[in-house]
Amino acid sequence: MKINHLADNKALWALSMGALWERFCFFGLLTNLIIMLVSYWKTGAHVSYAIYGTYATLAFSLPLLGGIMADRWLDRINAILMGYLLVILGALGMMGAGQEAFYAGLACYLVGSALCRPSIATLVGEYSDIQGTDKNQAYTFFYIMLNVGAVLGPVIFGIASKMGHLQWGFGVVIAGVTFSAVCLLGVSKWRMPSFKALGSLLLCAGLLIGFVLWLLIHDQYFNWVMLFSGILVLCWIVTLFTRQNNREKKQLSKIILVFFCSVLFFMVSLQVGSSMTYFIEYLVNRHVWGFMIPTQWLTALDPLFVVLAAPIVIKCIGKKPPILKAIITCFSLCVIGLVFFALCSLVHDKPYWPILLLALAMLGLGAGEIALSPAILTYANEQSPNSLRSTMIGLWYLFIALAGYLSGYLSQLVSIMSFAHYYLLLAMMQMILLGVVGYLWWRQRSPR
């Protein structure tokens, strides 16, 4: 039976709701982790920043392992449900009274998130095939729901923190994830995994939680662990390619090239959490009619515009744009956003104008993200062999982690140049890639 409206697709709603609450927890923690470590546990600033970096990096690199577990040992429904369970246990741990319980809960959450993220994204594509929904439209809806969670998480956790009851935020996470698990069980044909598969998963998940907990406590070894892990992943990718036939090798090569393009965009987009936050907090005149707009409200415009710009972007590029067209649109909007950031830095101390220019800049980044990410998820789902779909989605998250790592190094350039020059430099980088991708698209469309 063909589903004409996304609202009728119960499976899509159930999966997207789960992703919303997982992202709610991620961004709620991301914006409040430093406050919790410094204020509640009296952790030093240097150690707190190190833990923050470890948390942000692992949140995007561990889903590769979650995707491999789902493809190898479990069906994706069970991987998601196990992930939900660990997220709930993690939230309960972080609600606890002790610092050790908080770290253990954070480790549980990271592993649970790693299990459910790639499988949820994979099942969105599979259910859209089964129920007749356009795949790119389904992924767009899914990505909108993700960013609703990204907007609500910092707001709810921020309110709870201001009231002195941060555990309320984790209570909302537990309720939301539990509800999502019940909904998923209601719309799917759940089967109990074999004892062998369940035992393998529990063993791997337990070891992984222990390893993540060790990394959070001994953050001084994090860079070495990441370097060693990067070498292992590179060897794994080479081995993966050698096991595929020629057609699958070509498909996987195209997917990885598209992932590299996304790295260059997210290197800029993730500046919202580093150089752009610093710029807004310490340089921008945020006073409007006697009220100082909090920095968190302005940085939250990025995910908010992902949600609001979606209908306009879909109307402009179509419900299922070719991947190169989506990349060109994304980088064009990103360049426009960076130009507005550069203009904002020139008038940062003036009244009103900086806020308007910041809003336009965030609109460019948010609209670019909604043009790119659903198209990449659709492309990866369609081009990947069925046995590697969750793995490839996990690999995409790993590429985003790489983008975040490079973004941190890029942001250090503001110490040797002005913000205006820095944002114009980023815009030039995007324009170079835009020219390369535009040429490839022209070659693809031109008659031979």
* Strand (E) or helix (H) holding 198: helix 195-217
Query: Which of 136-150, 357-371, 394-408 is predicted most confidently?
Result: 357-371
pLDDT at 1 over 50: no
Q: Which residue has the higher pLDDT, 418 or 127?
A: 418
CA distance 392 to 384: 7
Closest CA to 88 of 170, 189, 184, 207: 170
**Three-state SS for 397?**
helix
- For residue 133, the model assigns a pLDDT of 66
Structure tokens at 124: 């969105």
Q: What is the pLDDT of residue 4?
A: 37
Q: Is the pLDDT of residue 226 over 90?
A: no
Residue 120 has pLDDT above 80, yes or no: yes
Identity at 320, one-letter amino acid code:
K
**What average pLDDT score do residues 20-44 get?**
81
Nearest to 279 by CA among 427, 157, 152, 415: 415
The pLDDT assigned to 15 comes to: 92
Amino acid identity at 237: I
Q: What is the pLDDT of residue 423?
A: 92
Q: Is 92 a residue whose pLDDT tops 70?
A: yes
Mean pLDDT within 382-410: 85
Contact between 208 and 65 under an 8 Å Cβ cutoff? The reply is yes
Give the pLDDT confidence score for residue 447 in this predicted structure. Answer: 59
Q: Mean pLDDT highest for which of 84-88, 125-129, 235-239?
A: 84-88
Segment 236-251 mean pLDDT = 83
Report pLDDT digits (tens) over 254-296: 899 899 888 989 988 888 766 787 788 788 898 888 888 887 7
- Does the structure show a pLDDT above 90 at 104? yes
pLDDT of residue 166 exceeding 80: no
Q: Looking at residue 37, what is its pLDDT?
A: 78
HSE (side-chain half, CA atoms, 13 Å) at 405: 18
Q: Give the three-state DSSP class for 192.
A: coil
pLDDT reading at 132 higher than 90? no
Complete domains list, the chain, with CATH: 1-241 (1.20.1250.20), 244-448 (1.20.1250.20)
pLDDT of residue 2: 35
pLDDT at 273: 66
3-state secondary structure of 436: helix
> What is the pLDDT at residue 408?
73
- Rg of the chain in Å (alpha carbons): 21
Residue recorded with tokens 């031979």:
448
pLDDT greater at residue 408 or residue 229:
229
Residues making up the chain, counted from first to last:
448
Q: Is the pLDDT of residue 5 over 70?
A: no
Decide if pLDDT at 43 tops 80: no
* Whether the model pTM is above 0.75: yes
Instruction: Output the 3-class SS for 152-184.
Output: HHHHHHHHHHHCCCCHHHHHHHHHHHHHHHHHH
Adjacent-strand bridge partners of 288: 291
Q: pLDDT-derived band of residue 7, with 50, 70 and 90 as boundaries?
A: very low
> What would the mean pLDDT of 97-112 be, rounded to a whole number?
90
Q: Is 290 left (phi over 0), alpha (psi -120 to 50) or beta?
A: left
C-alpha to C-alpha distance for 109 and 86, rounded to whole angstroms: 6
Quote the pLDDT of residue 40: 74
pLDDT of residue 126: 81
Could you report the per-residue pLDDT of 400-432, keeping only the tens digit for each?
888 887 887 787 788 888 989 999 999 998 899
pLDDT in tens, 318-364: 878 888 889 999 999 999 999 999 999 999 889 899 999 999 999 99
* Average per-residue pLDDT for the chain: 85
Residue 375 has pLDDT above 70, yes or no: yes
